[in-house]
């Protein structure tokens, strides 16, 4: 049973990486700041860094997701109970990954704790469930939505006050761009020559920023901060999710694994999951929720990283998925480019996540108890 639980935890970590690793860098790829491989590589490195840092900074989340207080102490650390929780959450997250739907591992673990707890014990502590799990999960996307909706217009005003303007560019060849002006009828004229510019696909066009801040090129500064903010989200995600998964590895002590070593195993499995299976969720997060430029992507990442890091530090079980998607939803509302049909589909997937994870965990618990 101990070895089965160990493999289950690695499966959950792999599934988490596949569904979650790209969420921090989705804005880099969606705004065409970097290509898919660069974005994925940066996500992998920063998430792994957050996983390793969680050994020192996020220990309270291990206690939160051990089930202590939600189910009787006799179940906490019970290999059969933890196996049911891990498999229920892992199956749910992997199924969502296969169809490219970004869901919350935190939400899945919460549902799995409920399902396994009900089968193994017949009851759960509803007060603990609402206060410590549902409340943070419900509030966090609204908070990130609101912060993004407030910050982006503020950043836009500051940019205009510094004389930095947006311009539309068309890629002519690798490393070369041509500044254009989009006319009311949709045609584009070269800023330099006034000649009409024709392109084959709209996706080739991208917005850039023209101007200088303290003598430095505005676009280069923004790209640098955007890249750093994406790394902060990856780090925050590793910091937030690793302890939740490691909480299921309490039995790892019986296999000779220390807590730091358990976190290393989980971090590596998350990294591998992202490298091998992130493409479908990446496509959803990068291009199917909202059209974004460099500045908008930076704002969404900044909000996400801040909220997730604060929550991780104080042991609050928020979902990186809910926070990052909430930021993108906020962008869509402010800019008017939100793709609300996809947003509604994602929200529906979030509603289904908890009962689905509870169903799978309850099924596993039924057979192992």
Structure tokens given for 363: 């099924």
3 state DSSP class of 81: helix
pLDDT value of position 109: 86
DSSP classification of residue 369: -
Establish how many alpha carbons lie within 13 A of residue 218's alpha carbon, considering only the half-sphere containing its beta carbon.
Answer: 20
State residue 101's pLDDT score.
Answer: 94
Look up residue 334 and give its two tokens: 């402010």
Tell me the C-alpha distance between 237 and 254, whole Å: 28
Q: What is the pLDDT of residue 292?
A: 82
pLDDT for residue 252: 45
Give, for all 369 residues of the chain, the pLDDT tens digit. 778 888 898 999 999 999 998 988 988 888 888 889 999 999 999 998 988 887 676 555 555 555 555 666 666 667 888 889 899 999 999 999 999 999 988 889 888 888 888 887 776 666 666 555 667 677 888 999 999 999 989 988 888 787 776 666 655 555 555 666 776 766 666 666 665 555 544 444 566 666 666 767 777 888 888 899 899 889 988 887 888 788 776 544 445 556 677 778 888 999 999 999 999 999 999 889 988 888 888 899 899 888 888 877 776 767 888 899 999 999 999 988 899 999 999 999 999 999 999 999 999 989 887
Contact by Cβ (8 Å): 52, 241? no
What are 344's two structure tokens? 């509604």
Distance CA 68, CA 76 (A): 6
Phi, psi of 131, rounded to the nearest 5 degrees: -75, -45
Per the structure block, which two tokens stand in for 314?
């104080």
- Mean pLDDT over each residue of the chain, to the nearest integer: 80
Domain boundaries, the chain: 2-159+220-368, 165-210
Q: Are 107 and 133 in contact (CB under 8 A)?
A: no
* Confidence at residue 43, expressed as pLDDT on a 0 to 100 scale: 92
Which tokens sit at 332?
């869509």
Secondary structure class of 197 (helix, strand, coil): strand
């Amino acid at each position: 049973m101990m070895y089965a639980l160990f493999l289950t935890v690695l499966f959950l970590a792999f599934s988490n990486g596949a569904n979650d690793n790209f969420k921090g860098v989705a804005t880099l790829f969606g705004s065409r700041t970097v290509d898919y491989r660069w974005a994925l590589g940066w996500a992998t490195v920063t998430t792994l860094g957050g996983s390793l840092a969680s050994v020192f900074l996020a220990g309270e989340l291990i206690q939160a997701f051990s089930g202590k207080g939600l189910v009787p102490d006799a179940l906490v650390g019970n290999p059969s109970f933890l196996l049911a929780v891990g498999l229920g959450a892992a199956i749910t997250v992997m199924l969502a990954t296969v169809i490219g739907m970004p869901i919350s591992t935190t939400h899945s673990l919460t549902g799995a704790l409920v399902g396994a707890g009900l089968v193994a014990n017949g009851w759960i502590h509803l007060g603990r469930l609402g206060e410590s799990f549902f409340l943070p999960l419900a509030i966090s996307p609204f908070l990130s939505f609101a912060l993004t909706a407030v910050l982006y217009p503020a950043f836009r005003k500051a940019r205009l006050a510094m004389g930095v303007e947006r311009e539309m560019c068309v890629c002519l060849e690798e490393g070369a761009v041509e500044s254009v002006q989009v006319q009311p009828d949709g045609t584009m004229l070269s800023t330099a020559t006034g000649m009409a510019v024709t392109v084959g696909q709209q996706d080739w066009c991208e917005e850039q920023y023209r101007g200088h801040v303290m003598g430095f090129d505005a676009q280069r500064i923004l790209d640098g901060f955007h890249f750093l903010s994406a790394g902060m989200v990856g780090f925050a995600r590793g910091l937030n999710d690793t302890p939740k998964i490691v909480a299921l590895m309490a039995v790892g002590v019986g296999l000779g694994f220390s807590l730091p070593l358990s976190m290393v195993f989980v971090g590596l499995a998350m990294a591998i999951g992202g490298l091998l299976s992130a493409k479908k969720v990446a496509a959803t997060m990068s291009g199917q929720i909202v059209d974004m430029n460099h500045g908008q992507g930076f704002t969404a990442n900044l909000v996400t990283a801040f909220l997730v890091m604060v929550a991780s530090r104080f042991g609050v079980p928020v979902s990186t998925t809910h926070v990052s998607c909430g930021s993108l939803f906020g962008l869509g509302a402010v800019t008017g480019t939100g793709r609300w049909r996809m947003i509604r589909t994602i929200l529906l997937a979030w509603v289904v996540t908890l009962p689905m994870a509870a169903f799978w965990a309850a099924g596993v618990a039924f057979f192992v108890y």
